[in-house]
A and B are shown apart, each in its own frame.
Chain A
Amino acid sequence: MKGKAGGGPVKNAKPNADIWELRLYVAGQTPKSLAAFANLKKICEEHLKGKYHIEVVDLLKNPQLASGDQILAIPTLVRKLPPPLKKIIGDLSNTVRVLVGLDLRPKM
């Protein structure tokens, strides 16, 4: 975990194409947060390879950012792009549900 700056791997196959903007809200390096990040990365690598961007927001460092995306639960994954906005809470351990939440299921 590298906080806000520590984004996930960005691998642009086609620049300006449908890049997935994902933001993961965490509060410190708790086991849940670490698990969520690891799970997210795994899923992205599998399903969105090369067209995703992950931003991790640590609310302990930037508490004022919590209200922007109406964050209550930690960890929360927000799909900023493509629209519509989606929120997925929990440690992302249930891969099937994460895929449903991200609307990735049909593409499989």
Chain B
Amino acid sequence: MAKEKTKLLRGNLQKVPTGIVGLDEITNGGLPKGRPTLVCGGAGSGKTLLGIEFLVRGATQFNEPGVFMSFEESAEELTKNVASLGFDLNRLTASKRLLVDYVHIERSEIEETGEYDLEGLFIRLGNAIDSIGAKRVVLDTIESLFAGLPNPSILRAELRRLFRWLKKKGMTAVITGERGDNALTRHGLEEYVSDCVILLDHRVLNQISTRRLRIVKYRGSTHGTNEFPFLIDERGLAVMPITSLGLKHTVTNQRISTGIPRLDSMLGGKGYFRGSSILVSGTAGTGKTSVAAHFVDAACRRGERSVFFAFEESPSQIIRNMRSIGIDLQQWVEKGLLRFCADRPTVYGLEAHLASMHKYIDMFKPRVVIVDPVTNLSAVASEADVKAMLIRLLDQMKFNQITALFTTLTAATGSLELTEVGISSLADAWLLLRDIEIGGERNRGLYILKSRGMAHSNQIREFLLTNKGVDLIDVYVGPSGVLTGSARISQETQERDVESIREREIERKRLNVETKRKALEAQIASLRAQFQAEEQELKKLTEQEKMRQNGVSKLREKMASMRKEDTNSERRKR
């Protein structure tokens, strides 16, 4: 990124990348090439370190050797001091990529007796530059000359000449200066070095120190104008150009599981959006960390890396506690999918926290980030500052499509929703965990206050912590209100009792009817039998009658034949 920008600006102003994390971004490519840059700040603000890192990075990453002219520390002291930041000055010096020249002036040894100039310094510097073919020069802190040498007017003229000379030699120089009372530097160096001025600040607020960097001016170039927090740690200096991201991130429709099946179904059946920010708020002991742990567990199961920033508990404590609800986070730590980053919020300032988180995220490249809880950060800064920090952090995460879950602790008193207006507007989804106190017991309830861009349940769920993890169950909503816990259970039992009585009643009635039906059927059967008997009787009688009539006709025939009535009988037969 830095390279592209350098190229774009080639026709304009050439820049030299510093290699310092973040600084090249806010300067759009680095420091002005072949020109001096003034770095000013109070004692202990990191000026020397910025200078040294500029040279070390130049020597190791950009193949530009550098000369460090120190007016304050000897080469040995300097080497020792920066060794803790991972810079091996001895190795660089041995390979002729770095030269440290310690210029020492003792005021008491010096007597001024007339006109002089600083040609000695020029010669020394020129000799140093030529001996290693340096492209970069750091003068730290040249203002010491004002203390060591008399006659400031000569010094001023000579410094002006020095900067011009450095420019002519094409040196990209960093000149450090002590912050003055009303000016950027104590001796007004900013008058001479006007191409680029960087101000470092080290502020202590509420006993917490915060480092900030600001580009005061950068002639011929655009640059970030804000104060950017920076951090000095074992890898050197890191500036956070976070506010420059803005609201330009793209979003995805991809959904990821919350790790709690029932919660997924509350969130339209699929869980959170990837890259969204989720706020889990609740009073103490409502299970915020458990919700977070579920989410982390689910992410690791998908093979995604996660970072857990813990501001309240140590990693082993979290792992132990989560094991009690059946979540084994240890396995993910061992597999390298999960990293814990636990610090007390008061360890350093808010900006430093932000910076370290930023750096951690940059380094580990997680897909899921947990901050538990963000509210603890307000111990080191005001609410507005915490909000500003969160905006930056969220910007960064959204930009990288990292799903972030923040937990916040809300005070037990007052409205849960009101206290967090500041943070809640930043969250895409907001889960509220709360205690529901009925009948002398506390139970946990969960509902979704908002979830941008998806249909979600408006129902409150009872939130149970079991040894198999979090379980969400429907609460009892009846005429007597919302019931949870044993009240819910007793209500349900009561309902079940009523139900079973009713069922028994019905069963009894059913049996009754059955009996009746059977009796009726028996009656029908007997009637039918009676009827059949009568029918049988009738049939018998009919047959008897037939037989009788048959008998009569036969008798008649017999009598007729006896009376020779043959014709008659013939006729009758036809």
Q: How far is the CB of B102 from chain A (nearest CB, A)?
A: 8
Whether B464 sits at the interface, judged by CB under 8 Å, is no
- On whether the beta carbons of A88 and B111 are closer than 8 Å, the reply is yes
Contact B110 A87 (CB under 8 A): yes
CB-CB nearest in chain A for B131: A64
Candidate in A32, A63, A85 with the most chain B CB atoms within 10 angstroms? A63
**Helix, strand, loop or mixed for chain B's interface?**
mixed
Tell yes or no: B453 within 8 A of A by CB: no
Chain A interface size, as a band, is 35 or more
Tally chain B residues at the interface, Cβ within 8 Å: 24
Cβ of A89 within 8 Å of any chain B Cβ, yes or no, is: yes
| Minimum C-beta distance from A2 to chain B (A) | 19
Chain A contacts for B109, CB-based, 8 A: 84-87
Bound form: Cα–Cα A61–B126 in Å: 13
Q: Which of B112, B115, B118, B149 has the most CB of A within 10 A?
A: B115
Measured between beta carbons, the chain B residues less than 8 angstroms from A90 are: 112-116
Count of CB-CB pairs between chains A and B under 8 Å: 98
**A73 on interface, CB distance cutoff 8 Å:** yes
User: Is B101 in contact with chain A by the CB < 8 A criterion?
Assistant: yes
Q: Does A81 sit within 8 A of B, measured CB to CB?
A: no
Report the Cα distance A89→B211, complex, angstroms.
40
- Residues on the A chain within 8 Å of B80, using CB: none
The answer to whether A75 and B116 touch across the interface, beta carbons within 8 angstroms, is: yes
Chain B residues lying within 8 Å of A76, measured Cβ to Cβ, are: 116, 120
Query: Given the interface contacts A27-B123, A72-B103, A72-B105, does A32 sit within 8 Å of B111 by beta carbon?
Result: no
Contact mask for chain B residues 60-77; partner A; CB cutoff 8 A; 1 contact, 0 none:
000000000000000000
User: B119 within 8 Å of A by Cβ?
Assistant: yes
Tell whether, in the assembled complex, residue B104 and residue A70 are in contact, meaning their CB atoms are under 8 Å apart: yes
From A4-12, A14-22, A46-54, A94-102, give the one contacting chain B: A94-102
- Asked if B113 contacts A66 (CB within 8 A), the reply is no
Could you tell me which B residues sit within 8 Å of A by CB distance?
Answer: 101, 103-106, 109-121, 123-124, 126-127, 145, 149
Chain A residues proximal to chain B, CB less than 8 Å = 25, 27, 30, 32, 35-36, 39, 59-60, 63-64, 66-67, 70-76, 84-94, 97-98, 100-101
Given A25-B120, A39-B114, A73-B120, output 20 extra A-B contacts at Cβ < 8 Å. Answer: A27-B123, A35-B114, A59-B120, A63-B124, A66-B127, A71-B120, A72-B105, A73-B118, A75-B116, A86-B109, A87-B111, A89-B110, A89-B112, A90-B116, A91-B115, A92-B114, A93-B113, A94-B114, A100-B111, A101-B113
Q: List 29 A-B contacts (CB under 8 A).
A: A25-B120, A27-B123, A32-B115, A39-B114, A59-B119, A63-B123, A63-B127, A64-B127, A67-B101, A67-B103, A70-B104, A72-B103, A72-B118, A72-B124, A72-B145, A73-B118, A74-B116, A88-B110, A88-B112, A89-B112, A89-B113, A89-B116, A90-B114, A93-B114, A94-B114, A97-B111, A97-B112, A98-B113, A101-B113
